[in-house]
Amino acid sequence: MKIRIIGYLPLLSIIFVWFIFSSPYFLKNLVPYPSDYQVNAFFPWKEYRQFWGPIKNSAMPDVIDQIYPWKHFTIQSWKQHQIPFWNPNSFSGTPHLANYQSSALTPFNILFIFMPFLDAWSILILLQPLFAGIFTYLFVRKLQVSTYGACISAITFMFCGFIVVWMAYGTLSMAIAFLPLVLYLIEKNFQKINIFSLLFLSLTLPLSFFSGHFQTSLYLFIISFLFLIYRFLISKKRTTFLPIIIFCSSE
């Protein structure tokens, strides 16, 4: 029993670090939403010095006037058993399902079905670094890196500049969080073919592409493909390449 607990300590430490980062929501009931920008990034309030904040990030207002309203419209549509093809609330109406950043098809929308909207939004945002950290730990350990090295790698990636800067969107950081999981599954199957991990591999890229940012998911695809080629070139078991390619293609 003690050995099992010790084996899970690295993952528990990653979760503990994540919990500290997420404590404003869990302990203070604060929502990870850039509300300050509602009064200092839009006219006429942005013209008044007393509303200016200490930090200026011109990308954050997009969460307020695009990402968050889109998510709300998506969830309301699904709850009414309607496919969100068209958003009548934007201009004279705009395509919504075809709006890639609406992430209308991500399976994580199920959070909003069973939870209050603000809680589901908060969990969605905070899951991004957690996924990135856990997946990175699994991948780095699969590369035979020490436990300490894997923990450092996990914490470094889960709080890297890209993930932290874009976390409030709930799209870009989620799209890239699956990268170490893809690499882990490729490495795992090169070491030993497993039908369940191959099936899981076939789901990872769709999870990224449904997250809502095509450019980031495209980067994930390119990096994964290059790693696959690299792994093939250095592998002594090249017969494993074909099934991996087949399941990657099925994505």
pLDDT-wise least confident of 155-164, 226-235, 236-245? 236-245
pLDDT band with cut points at 50, 70 and 90 for residue 232 = confident
Per-residue pLDDT of 58-91, as tens digits, reads 788 899 989 999 999 999 999 999 999 999 998 8
Per-residue pLDDT of 142-188, as tens digits, reads 999 999 999 999 999 999 999 999 999 999 999 999 999 999 998 98
Reading the block at residue 113, the tokens are: 């079905």
**pTM over the 0.75 mark:** yes
pLDDT band with cut points at 50, 70 and 90 for residue 35 = confident
Query: Is the pLDDT at 242 greater than 60, yes or no?
Result: no
| pLDDT for 54 | 63
Cis status, amide bond into 61, omega within 30 of 0: no
Domain range list for the chain: 2-177, 178-251
